[in-house]
Amino acid sequence: MRIISGKYKGKRLVAPKKLPVRPTTDMAKEALFNILNNRYYLDESKVLDLFAGTGNISFEFGSRGASGVTAVDSFVGCVQFISKTARELDFPIIAVKSDVFQFLERTKEQAQIIFADPPYDFSQEQFLKIADLVFENGLLLDDGLLVIEHSDQTDLSQHQHYSEHRKYGSSVFSFFEAISD
């Protein structure tokens, strides 16, 4: 995997081969960060990276100067790799080993941007539960954004906080925002 921009632009990171992950492609990641760069000052953003895997998205935020990133994954190998790499690159990333649903139910941590990249074979209900927990527990800061990556076989547009989606190859980013009164 490669960091696209920021302090470590172009740096390649090699994750252990045995991790059970499907990293976001460079094309999709670059498109996502172009969208986010147009909405936020990423160097001031607090980020929550759910189903963090190799930390691909967390490292991109770190390279772009995010003020803090919490990367959550249930696989110990992923958490160890993210922690080790974050230390080496001096990124403000805290890796947490937890089931994401349990984490979302108990955390009080709020973020400007919450990114979730769950397994593509999740059921529609599992994808929607992520959004439900984020909004029910008030985990987004004002003007915050939840982004869920999923396959083009999944449609999350029926969620009340859904705002739009963008498709890149077989990957889709669905965006969710708090409803303004």
In CATH terms, the fold of domain 26-35+42-176 is Rossmann fold (3.40.50)
What are the pLDDT digits (tens) for 102-137?
999 999 999 999 999 999 999 999 999 999 999 999
- Over the chain, what is the mean pLDDT? 93
Secondary structure class of 99 (helix, strand, coil)? coil
Which range of 19-33, 35-49, 103-117, 165-179 scores highest in mean pLDDT? It is 103-117
What are the pLDDT digits (tens) for 69-85?
999 999 999 999 999 99
- Which CA distances in Å does 165 have to 9, 66, 125, 151? 27, 24, 18, 11
The structure tokens listed for 148 are 């869920």
